[in-house]
Structure 1
Amino acid sequence: MFFNRQEIKFMFDENKRLNSKVKEFAKKNFHPKNFLFFSDSGSGKTTIAEKLAEELAKRREICYKSNDSKFIDYTNQEVLVKQELIHNTWLLKELLNLCEKDICPMNCKGKTKIDVMTKYNIITAQDPFDDIFNFKKRIFDENPAYSKDKRIGLHRRFSKSKDYTHGYMFKVTNRYQSGKVDFQITCLKESDDSAGDINDFVNGRFDIKFAEETTLEEAKKRVYDDDFENLYKHKGDVFLKREVDMDHVLGGVICDVDTENHTFSVYNKYFDSEIPSTMIPPKDLNRLNERLRNKIINQFGPDHEITGTNKRT
C-alpha cells in the first residue's frame, strides 16, 4: 500500500497530536527538604550552610554546586550546597526540579546526564528569590522573565504545605560579630503555603517523608544501610528521621523564639551582656564555643536548667 505526501503528513501530525496528550511523571520516592538563607555579607550564612550540610550528611561527602549554570559535579550525595545563588548561576528549571523531585537529570561535565537524587538542598544568597529571578514581564540584566506559576512553585518548595515542611526561607539580619543574629522564616503571601515549621527548625528535626504507599522495605532502597534504623511509619506514611544540633550549626544559642511571627535570635561568643532567659537549653554544651559555654554555665548553672515556654518541644 502506498501513501501520497499529503496522507503521510496527516498521519504524522495525527500521531504527534496523540502523543502530546501522553505525559509521563517520574515516580516520587521521597520529598526533599530545602533551605534558603539570604542576607548581606557578615551574617555567618556561609558557615551556617556548611555546618548544616555536614550535620545532615552525617560525615558523608557533600555536593557543592559550582557557578556553572549548565553543569553539576555530583556523585550520589544526599546533601547539596549552593553558595551565593544569583540568576545566572543555576537554571531555574533545574532548581525547581531538584527541590521537588527526588530524581532530577542534570548535565555533568564529560558525562551524559546524571540523575541527581539529593534529600537536602541548602542555598545561600544575598537576596530573596523574588530579587534573584525575574518574575515580571519586562527583561533586565539578561535575566529572563518567568511566569507567576513558576514563582509560586519555587516558593512552595521552601515552605510548609498542609502535611509537610518542604523547606525554609530565612531572612538573616545583623552581623555575626555583633554577638546577636536575627532569623525570620518567610513565605509567599500569595500562595496557600505557610512558613516552615519553626519548632522543627530550632529543634533540628528535618525528617524526610517518602511518597504515599511506600513501604519500609521500599524505603530501605533509598537510604544508606546505617539509616535503616532511622526509618519509621507515622499515620501510614514512611519517614526518615534526621535530627541535628542547631546550636552547633548556628554558632550560638537560640533565644526569643516567636512562633507567631516565625522569628528567633541566636546569641554567640561575641555577645557581651547576659544571655536572655528565653534561651532554649543547648543540646550539647561541649559543642559550643568555650567562651559562650562558660558564660552559660556561670549564668544558668552547670545543668543549664531553664523553665518557662522556652523548653524544647
Structure 2
Amino acid sequence: MRDQYRITITSFEGSHHYTLTQLMRRFLAATAAVLGVLFVGGFISIYFLSSELYSLKKFQDQIKNENIALLAEQERLQASVEEKAAALSVMGEELDSIELMMGLKPGAEDELYERLDTASQTVQEKRYMLTSIPSGYPLEETKVTSFFGMRKHPVLGKMKLHGGADLRASIGTPVFATADGVVEWAGMHESGLGRMVKLSHNFGFSTVYGHLDKTTISVGDYVRQGDVIGYSGNTGLSSAPHLHYEVRHLHRRLAPRAFMEWSLENYDVLFTKEERIKWDSLAKALKKQMALPERRWSQLAPALPATSS
C-alpha cells in the first residue's frame, strides 16, 4: 500500500511537484465528511424551521380570522344594544305620556318647587330642612376640582362613576358636617376612600367624607351642622390631597352640587335640580312632625287648678 502520493501541477512557468501523504488524505476526507454532515444537518434544520414557520403563519392567520369574527360579533351586539336602547327610550316616552294623561306625573311645564309649595312653608320649617338635610359646603373655602359623573379615574386609569365631588383642600383642613346627624362610620374604609366619615341624617339622607387625614368623632356620636368631624388628607386611592364629598338618599348617590349651593336665600334651587326625591311628601311629613309636639303637649298637659283671689 502506498504511503504517499505525488501530485504534479504544470503551468507556463514549469512543473511543480507536491507529495500528499496518506495521513493528510485521511484528514481531508474527515474534513469533507464533517462538512457534509454539517450541510445535511443545516438542511434538515432549515426544513424543520420552515415547517415551524409555516405552522406559526397558519396559527397567525387563524387568530386573525377569529379576531375578525369577534369584531363582527361585537358590532352585531353593539347594534343590538343600540336598537334595544332606542326601543326602551320609545317605551319610556310612551309611558311618560300615559302617566301624564292619567295625572300620575306632572307636566314638564310644572316646576317642582311649585308643586312643593315652598311659599306655604314657614321660616322655621325651612331652617329645619336646611339643618336636617345636607346643605352648604363641607369646607370653609371651596374649589370643586371634579364633579359627579363618569370620568377617568386618576389612579386606576379607567372610566368609572365618580359618586361625589372632589374639593381642593390641603392636608389638615377642617371638614364640617353639612347637616345634623349621627356618625355611622369613622375610620379607614376598603372602598378606596381611605380614612372616611359617614353621617346618617333625617329623611333617609347620608353624607360621606373621604380621604381624610384624621377624624375627631367616633361611631355613635351625634353631631350638629357645622361641627368639625375631621381634617382633610390624602389617604386611600388619591392622587393629591383633597376631600371627596358625597350626598346619598336611601343609599343612592346624588349629585352633591345642588345640595352644596342650597341655602335659605337660594332655597328653591335644590327642588328644581334634584327631582328623584319626593319633596312634597317630605315637606308634608315635616309639617306634621313640627306640629306634633304642640298637639301632644295640649293633649297630655294636666288642667291647671283654679286659684282664688
Q: What TM-score bracket applies, with the shorter chain setting the length?
A: under 0.3
Relative contact order: is structure 1 or structure 2 higher (C-alpha 8 Å, sep ≥ 6)? 1
Tell me the TM-score normalised to structure 2 length.
0.23
Tell me the TM-score normalised to structure 1 length.
0.23
Structure with the larger helix share: 2
